[in-house]
Amino acid sequence: MKEYKTQGAILKHAPELDDEDVQALNKCYIPYLFYKEINGVQHCSCSSCHESFEVSYIDRTVTPEQRDFLDAGHNQHVHCPKCGRLVQKKQKGIARSCRKLWEYQRAVFIKPVSKNEVYVLYVWSTKDYRKYGSVIPVGEYMDYTTNPEYEVNAVYYITPNQQRCFIRNPWSRQHQFEEQKIKEPFIKSWWYNTTAWKRGYVTIGDDRLKNTFLQYYDDKKITDCYVNIYKELFRYSCYGAIEFPYCTALCRFAKYPSLEWLAKQGYDDFVFFMLRDGIEAHTLFDWQAKTPFKFFKTLSTQETKELRSDGRLKRYGVSEYMKYKRLLPGITISQYSWICENVQHKDRFLQTLKKYGLKIKVLIKYFSKSRMKVSDVTLWLDYVETAENIKFDLSVHNVLFPKNLELAHNEAVAISNALEIEREKESLQDKSNPYSKKYKKLCDMYSFENGAYKVVVPLGASHIVEEGKTLQYCVGAYADRHINGKTTILFVRLCKKEDVPLLTVEINDKTKKVIQVHGLKNRNPDKVEQSFIDMWLEYIVLPKSKKKAVKAA
Ligand SMILES: [Zn+2]
Ligand SMILES: [Zn+2]
């Protein structure tokens, strides 16, 4: 048996839909039983089985079933006595032109032509009971037992050696077929995505695969794999039915024999991503392989087993494991698992490891020794980065791995912040610093002290952030707004301890009214503090000359 190669030959030999196909397509439409009652006789036509028949009241031997059938009226459901299907009764006089019964379907037909050649035809179909006679009868008339109309819009030619896909181009002049890489047969328009209530397509004749090379295509298993991962990925955005890419699935199944056992053995995400993306990543996977050990080209049998039992044998996990193997030679699966479970910032983690020439087992030992939490790896990374900035000697083991990580982290951050504030103070001398001018203005306007308390103007953004951290409330968000001039933040402190945060004041620069004052954990000022603030508020609204007099005094 010679396979067709050219588009012309493949399309020319594509089978047509036969009577069985068209009947199956017809059954996809909503079934109606059209009837007209004349003198106690209901003249019926079933749109599903196309039988026309009569049921009458006059019969002396009316059965209870016939009685139910006759008593049912327009729009009620009955079983068609010919095909047994549940159908909706439509009285011809009421349904009239059946304009509202117009309907469409998308359908895919499996049409094998030999054991190793399967055609898949995608059709767009419509059903309209209105007909327009041009000879006799002239004009509009009804055909209650009409067949649906259809147009083949995509043809797939699937063999073990080639999987071809031809789709009509709706924009070309004669809607010509154009060869495409394997994909689904119709484009999802804006209308489809927003308002169409019929999703996907029906498949007809998939039982015909059983005499072909695709006989082991297990629709249930493959669909399950796809749906499982789809639901996992789109947990919060998946409404209604999931559209399974059946045409694509058949093509890929023909091309990649591994899909059969991958689906059977529960490698769901390998199946899903192969159907969705079609990416082989052939340096990692051999899609022709018949066993997992051959399939995972870069893994040893032992690695395959261990990764599988750790649940880490995933489509996009293998390349990551290979990356770690390259960067951390000799890494074991359990060490790799530890990283996957505990490290949130993998790149930072790897960089730090590399920079200090650390072995992964040293780190795991450090973190398992003390009772540290999962988030502590991030804490340690933060610590190391901060310690670098303030020039700690990290070549000393106890500095790199402090006994009390949290304490060491907080100390390093405090030192780093103090240095940062020092830098801000220096940069206020720099005229190109946009905050310098505002700082000077604020000092002239608000600086004040009474011997016990004083008002301090922030040196810069980190000064405000530090204030918020020390007083344990969220003023950090105000730092930028203060620097940009959108609000004004000031500190009230003890003259004796002017470096220690005490109260934070937000003031309206125009009205000179306090917006809020807070101390440690949002506490309010006490009586003494409040009287200082009141005194200060009286002072700042004085004219300049009087201010000088107060200051001199
Ligand atoms: Zn019934
Ligand atoms: Zn019927």
In sequence order, the 6+-apart residues with CB closer than 8 A to the CB of 217 are 209, 249, 250, 253, 260
In sequence order, the 6+-apart residues with CB closer than 8 A to the CB of 429 are 436
Compute, in angstroms, the gap from residue 21 CA to the centroid of ligand 2: 17
- Per DSSP, 206 falls in state G
CA distance 217 to 223: 11
Compute, in angstroms, the gap from residue 68 CA to the centroid of ligand 1: 10
Compute, in angstroms, the gap from residue 493 CA to the centroid of ligand 1: 86
Do the beta carbons of residue 252 and residue 278 sit within 8 Å? Answer: yes
Compute, in angstroms, the gap from residue 26 CA to the centroid of ligand 1: 22
pLDDT at position 77 over 90: yes
Structure tokens at 275: 């159907």
Helix %, strand %, coil % of the chain (to 5)? 40, 20, 40
Q: Nearest-5° angle of CA 171, CA 177, CA 180?
A: 95
In which element (H, E) is residue 38 found?
A: strand 32-38
- Which long-range contacts (C-beta less than 8 Å, at least 24 apart) are formed by 482-485? 482/458, 483/435, 483/438, 485/438
Q: How far is CA 59 from the centre of its chain?
A: 64
Compute, in angstroms, the gap from residue 529 CA to the centroid of ligand 1: 86
Structure tokens at 166: 């031809």
In sequence order, the 6+-apart residues with CB closer than 8 A to the CB of 73 are 89, 91
Q: Is ipTM strictly over 0.90?
A: no
Compute, in angstroms, the gap from residue 79 CA to the centroid of ligand 1: 6
Do the beta carbons of residue 149 and residue 126 sit within 8 Å? Answer: yes
- Split at pLDDT 50, 70, 90, the class of 25 is very high
Give the closest ligand to the alpha carbon of residue 26: 2
Place of tokens 């002017």: 498
Neighbours of 284 (CB within 10 A): 16
pLDDT tens, 219-272?
999 999 999 999 988 877 766 678 999 999 999 999 999 999 999 999 999 999
Compute, in angstroms, the gap from residue 86 CA to the centroid of ligand 2: 8
Per-domain residue ranges for the chain? 1-154, 343-427, 435-552
CA distance 463 to 510: 23
Give the closest ligand to the alpha carbon of residue 69: 1
pLDDT at 242: 83
Structure tokens at 414: 């405090």
pLDDT tens, 390-423?
888 888 888 888 888 888 888 998 898 889 888 8
Give the closest ligand to the alpha carbon of residue 87: 2
Give the closest ligand to the alpha carbon of residue 81: 2
Compute, in angstroms, the gap from residue 138 CA to the centroid of ligand 2: 29
CA distance 60 to 70: 14
- Per DSSP, 296 falls in state B
Compute, in angstroms, the gap from residue 202 CA to the centroid of ligand 1: 25
pLDDT at 108: 98
Give the closest ligand to the alpha carbon of residue 86: 1
Give the closest ligand to the alpha carbon of residue 72: 1
Compute, in angstroms, the gap from residue 337 CA to the centroid of ligand 2: 61
Compute, in angstroms, the gap from residue 456 CA to the centroid of ligand 2: 91
pLDDT at 552: 63
CA distance 199 to 481: 50
Compute, in angstroms, the gap from residue 347 CA to the centroid of ligand 1: 65
pLDDT at 439: 92
